[in-house]
Amino acid sequence: MNYFKQDLASLHADLVAKKLSAKELTQATFDNIKATDPKIDAFLALNEDAALDQAAKVDAAGIKEDQPLAGIPVAIKDNIVTKDLTTTAASKILTNFNPIYDATVTTKLADAQMITVGKTNMDEFAMGGSTETSAFKQTKNAWDQTKVPGGSSGGSAAAVASGQVVAALGTDTGGSIRQPAAFNGVVGMKPTYGRVSRWGLIAFGSSLDQIGPLTRGVKDNATILSTIAGHDEHDLTSSTQAVPDFAKDLNDATSVKGLRIGLPKEFLAEGVDEDVKNAILAAADTYRKLGATVDEVSLPHNKYGVAAYYIIASSEASSNLQRFDGIRYGYRAQDVKNLEDVYVKSRSEGFGDEVKRRIMLGTFSLSAGFYDAYFLKAAKVRTVIINDFKAVLKDHDFIMGPVAPTPAFDLGAEIKDPITMYMNDILTIPVNLAGLPGLSLPAGFSNNLPVGMQLIGRPFDESTLYKAGYAFEQSTDFHLQVPTLGGQN
Amino acid sequence: MANRINRDQVQHVASLAKLEFTDAQLDAFTPQLDDIIGLFETLSEVDTDGVEATNNVSDQLNVMREDVADNWGQSQALLKNAPDAARGFIKVPAIIDESEDN
């Protein structure tokens, strides 16, 4: 089976009514993944035996009406640790790494009795925007297998878009949930910084990283976020703010009536594809028809986000990735004479080029003589960017715009040109710098490729984004369109 | 090329980062890093006089907890991921360079 006509609620109803067992559902999911993954290459590892065992246990215990996720398969991005299930962050340096504990998010999904079916491909250590820096395989876009799936959560986005799973977890440091969601025509949420625990997330940029859900619809996304969010004593950046039941109030397409929406002129500026621009302008009209007002606003320092981000994220990465030293776990180079050799050769052989580039940029930006001019300057520009958002969100309920300047590009087209690849993140990066929630959802098509819209909210106000996303979904049919995978559907 | 970073500096940064590059890799990396640092330098256009740096956007400050041992006694499980282990310890090559021994 695929999930093109199913959502969490309909699967749950079938499971409660015993039209379907969790084990049948899980087996059907693996059958479908095996049939479609040769085309998509979304998965790095499958968890078949353990998943089927767990599904049988869920069936034996019985699925009750107040267990909305029980027995439903989910896929996990491979930089989130899963106990006894190989976790590589798509890096050679973590080949065969088997975590001895579960991330908080996977523990929470397991507590809700979701079934982890496998680990999804990604850019190595989440560094990239096309999933092409993975050391292991190239994931393809669900809509056109000559196009990139976006990244870094390209495997999770393609798995949901191609009907392999109904939900997946991704991570977003500079757009890595929202951009692949947009490229594959699915819904992706980058929650507020602190909303979701990162305990068990292989760290990239610690002041930026968040875990969030990818799903086909807004309501499913809201259900998963409520399940994984909340304070965790293992991650002291996780917030103690109460977690609403985000899905509960999603039943009214008119809930955006009276809301004020800001549309930054910089988000439709030069470099943004004409079809993308038109999709966003049409979406603005949809919101106006639903009773919201849409004003042109300005985020004047938006264009500096990419430079500030690549200094800050690379600096944090160069520090976080020091732990990969060939000693305690992961890859160790063989031809070594002394301990220094273990470090240098293991890292040089274990990391791919993009990861090395980031480590080098970060080490440079933090090094003696350059710290003030680069790292400190970027941290100050970050404050300026945050203040731009604060000014707009003071009198607007949320901001709307595109997710990425273009739809999915050709495989191989940008991987050799780092700056072009980095500039793809120009509309998503500022949201991470400011720690705000950002929702990506389908808003149109350009030459049969999905176009995504991004909604950006106030801190911890994911509720408004989900309401606005749901209202848009009820007024459009973009989210109902599905890709054709060689006659699978 | 604007030469914001040269080959020797790239070598120096690599040694700080415990990375090594072949000559061909240095030839490819040096101009790439130079271009990216050029992008970084556009930040000088932003007036940040009197602006505080932001290093953290968390709403949690100075979170304290009791220092209690938790989830311990897993050394055998941990060692399974070590590239080399013996008698309950992680094994590493000699710290002293053997080529220096006479």
CB A479 within 8 A of CB A216: yes
- Nearest-by-Cβ selection for B35 from A236, A419, A434: A419
Q: Is residue B79 one of the residues assigned to a domain?
A: no
Averaged pLDDT for residues A103-123: 98
Q: Is residue B26 one of the residues assigned to a domain?
A: yes
Residue B1 has pLDDT above 90, yes or no: no
Residue B1 distance to chain A (closest CA, Å): 15
- d(CA A139, CA A159) in angstroms, rounded, equals 10
Instruction: Give the active site residue among A23, A77, A119, A219.
Output: A77
Per-residue confidence (pLDDT) for residue B99, from 0 to 100: 58
Q: What is the mean pLDDT of chain B?
A: 89
**Total structural domains in chain A?**
1
- d(CA A323, CA A305) in angstroms, rounded, equals 28
- The structure tokens listed for A485 are 């995978």
Q: What is the dihedral of CA A308, A314, A315, A317, to 10 degrees?
A: 140
Q: How confident is the model at residue B98 (pLDDT cuts 50, 70, 90)?
A: low
- The structure tokens listed for A322 are 């020091």
Q: Is residue B83 one of the residues assigned to a domain?
A: no
Tell the burial category of B85 from Cβ atoms under 10 Å away from its Cβ (0-12, 13-18, 19+). Answer: middle
Searching chain B, which residue's CA lies closest to the CA of residue A420?
B36
- Nearest-by-Cβ selection for B17 from A240, A341, A363: A363
Cα B9 from chain centre: 16
Residue A106 has pLDDT above 60, yes or no: yes
Q: Interior CA angle at A310 toward A309 and A314, to 5°?
A: 110
Residue A68 distance to chain B (closest CA, Å): 30
> What are φ and ψ of residue A371, in 5° steps?
-55, -50
Within 8 A by CB and 6+ apart from A23, the residues are A52, A55, A56, A59
Q: Is residue B88 one of the residues assigned to a domain?
A: no
- Concerning whether A176 is annotated as a catalytic residue, the answer is yes
A91-100, A303-312, B60-69: the lowest-pLDDT one: B60-69
Instruction: Tell whether pTM > 0.95.
Output: yes
Task: Check if B18 contacts A (Cβ < 8 Å).
Answer: yes
- Nearest-by-Cβ selection for A337 from B20, B57, B98: B98
Task: Check if B86 contacts A (Cβ < 8 Å).
Answer: no
Residue A437 has pLDDT above 80, yes or no: yes
Do β-strands A187-190 and A438-446 pair in parallel, antiparallel, or remain unpaired?
antiparallel
**Total structural domains in chain B?**
1
Q: What is the DSSP string of A282-332?
A: HHHHHHHHTT-EEEEE--TTGGGHHHHHHHHHHHHHHHHGGG-SSSSSS--
CATH of the domain at A204: 3.90.1300.10
| Chain A residue numbers touching B93 (CB-CB < 8 A) | 336-339, 341-342
A127-152: per-residue pLDDT in tens?
999 999 999 999 999 999 999 999 99
- d(CA A27, CA A443) in angstroms, rounded, equals 33
**Domain ranges, residue A348:** 1-489
- A380 and B84 in contact by Cβ < 8 A? no
Q: Is residue B96 one of the residues assigned to a domain?
A: no
Q: How confident is the model at residue A486 (pLDDT cuts 50, 70, 90)?
A: low
A154-209: per-residue pLDDT in tens?
999 999 999 999 999 999 999 999 999 999 999 999 999 999 999 999 999 999 99
Task: Check if B27 contacts A (Cβ < 8 Å).
Answer: no
- ipTM above threshold 0.90: yes
Q: Is residue B13 one of the residues assigned to a domain?
A: yes
Averaged pLDDT for residues A243-265: 92
A207-249: per-residue pLDDT in tens?
999 999 999 999 999 999 999 999 999 999 999 999 999 999 8
Q: Is residue B64 one of the residues assigned to a domain?
A: no
- Nearest-by-Cβ selection for B42 from A307, A318, A338: A307
How big is chain A, counted in residues? 489
Per-residue confidence (pLDDT) for residue A488, from 0 to 100: 45
**Domain ranges, residue B14:** 7-44
- The fraction of chain A above a pLDDT of 70, given in percent, is 99
Task: Check if B53 contacts A (Cβ < 8 Å).
Answer: yes
Place of tokens 């500022």: A430
Do β-strands A260-264 and A293-297 pair in parallel, antiparallel, or remain unpaired?
parallel
Residue A324 has pLDDT above 80, yes or no: yes
